[in-house]
């Protein structure tokens, strides 16, 4: 048997995906800065890694699935280390744009609090297997003791496997998205067999047996025992299947509290990329809201929730592609006089076009929620160059043990 040469390296930093980086660069997953490691070099990757000298921040991963599962990247690091690292990601992104500001202490969602997960489910010779893919692997890792997901999602694994038994081909796995709601699980299935009358009946029966609030197969609703409701302030909203929600209720509450603090006292607020009303509907308890979102289904869900909410002020909701058709200064001109605050929560690409127009309109107060520190920093530079002060940043870690970082920032127009 041929001996494979091993290389020893010292990890100097973590990359943005959470991998350790050594000179080369060599990328070594699940390692930490200052660790001496050995492994086999394959291109730019270090594989078959052994920790020769561990970091003081290395801990025993709490979840027994961690070694084989690809769902988490940082369970081997202490909570304090991860918090400092995520703060440093945002600070570095701002520094690259020549910006700095005050940082509030990071808010981290607790374990077992993720309210949505997409499981890969494959039929096997003996039944079915549901879980997450291993790191850079097509192998499915079962996750019955996952420390990340809400327990109700773990309890639904037998349902996901039953759906695969009835509706998956032997060649293509199902993608089963499970979302918690106030009225039960909301289940969306992709890559299944085409629906026919027999399969519809079978799926509806499974939904009833497992207490599912709504089951959607591709784009067709197969069963709905009751609408899967999400609480946004006093409103209850039934989002379209698979539509955007914040990853945890805890993280959503932290983001909302910061947005409410930033916009406090405003009587009229414009909300860009409003989704189903995560911020618009709670803010409508105190202010008139103009909400803009590209998805018609989400706007309609928000409007329905607003109509049934209690004590809410006026809500104007508009379907608009804010990337291709941002509100222009002339559109925003009334907001400069009458809308005292703006909330903006764009996807990872940020909101370059809309932020430029928002800055030109000189809306006095802006709450910026971001899931990408790099595009946030780019947009922050635009606002600061236009005369805004970046008052503070609050990092919110909803994606515990991952490399993902979210934040909310306060901007005010300098007088």
pLDDT at 70: 86
pLDDT at 125: 85
Q: Please state whether 280 falls in left (phi above 0), alpha (psi between -120 and 50) or beta.
A: alpha
pLDDT at 335: 53
Residue pLDDT, tens place only, 182-194: 999 999 999 999 9
pLDDT at 1 over 50: no
What is the DSSP code (8-state) at residue 349? T
Phi, psi of 159 (to 5 degrees): -65, -45
Q: With contact defined as beta carbons under 8 Å apart, do 365 and 263 qualify?
A: yes
pLDDT at 339: 78
pLDDT at 262 over 60: yes
Q: What's the mean pLDDT when you consider all of the chain?
A: 94
Distance of alpha carbon 267 from alpha carbon 287, whole angstroms = 4
Q: Which residue(s) pair with 176 in the sheet?
A: 119, 189
Place of tokens 């605050």: 341
Which residues are catalytically annotated? 371
What is the DSSP code (8-state) at residue 97? T
pTM exceeds 0.85 for this model: yes
Residue pLDDT, tens place only, 325-358: 998 877 776 554 567 899 999 999 999 999 999 9
pLDDT at 308: 93
pLDDT at 2: 55
């Amino acid at each position: 048997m041929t001996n494979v040469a091993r290389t020893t390296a010292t990890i100097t930093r973590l990359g943005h995906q959470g991998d350790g980086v050594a000179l080369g660069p060599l990328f070594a997953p699940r390692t930490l800065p200052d660790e001496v490691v050995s492994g086999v070099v394959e291109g730019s990757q270090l594989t078959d890694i052994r920790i020769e000298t561990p970091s003081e921040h290395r801990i025993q991963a709490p979840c027994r699935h961690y070694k084989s599962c690809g769902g988490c990247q940082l369970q081997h690091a202490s909570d304090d280390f991860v918090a400092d690292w995520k703060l440093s990601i945002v600070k570095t992104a701002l520094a690259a744009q020549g910006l700095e500001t005050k940082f509030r202490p990071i808010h981290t969602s607790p374990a077992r609090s993720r309210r949505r997960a997409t499981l890969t489910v494959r039929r096997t010779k003996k039944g079915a297997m549901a879980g997450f893919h291993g790191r850079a692997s097509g192998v499915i890792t079962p996750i019955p003791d996952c420390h990340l997901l809400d327990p109700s999602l773990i309890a639904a694994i037998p349902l996901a496997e039953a759906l695969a038994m009835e509706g998956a081909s032997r060649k293509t796995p199902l993608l089963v998205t499970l979302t918690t709601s106030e009225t039960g699980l909301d289940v969306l299935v992709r890559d299944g067999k085409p629906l026919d009358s027999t399969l519809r009946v079978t799926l509806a029966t499974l939904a009833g047996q497992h207490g599912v609030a709504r089951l959607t197969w591709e784009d067709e609703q197969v069963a709905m025992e009751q609408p899967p409701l999400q609480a946004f302030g006093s409103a209850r909203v039934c989002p379209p299947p698979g539509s955007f929600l914040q990853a945890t209720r805890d993280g959503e509450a932290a983001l909302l509290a910061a947005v409410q603090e930033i916009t406090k006292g405003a009587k009229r607020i414009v909300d860009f990329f409003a989704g189903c009303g995560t911020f618009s509907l709670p803010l409508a308890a105190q202010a008139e809201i103009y909400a803009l979102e590209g998805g018609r289904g989400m706007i309609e869900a928000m409007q329905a929730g607003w109509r049934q909410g209690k004590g809410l002020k006026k809500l104007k909701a508009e379907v608009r592609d804010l990337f291709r058709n941002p509100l222009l200064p002339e559109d925003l001109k009334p907001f400069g006089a009458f809308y005292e605050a703006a909330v903006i929560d764009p996807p990872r690409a940020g909101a370059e076009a809309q932020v430029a127009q928002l800055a030109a309109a000189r809306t006095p107060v802006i709450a910026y929620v971001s899931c990408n520190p790099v595009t946030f920093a780019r947009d922050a530079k635009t606002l600061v160059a236009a005369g805004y002060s970046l008052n503070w940043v609050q990092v919110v870690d909803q994606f515990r043990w991952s490399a993902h970082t979210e934040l909310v920032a306060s901007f005010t127009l300098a007088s």
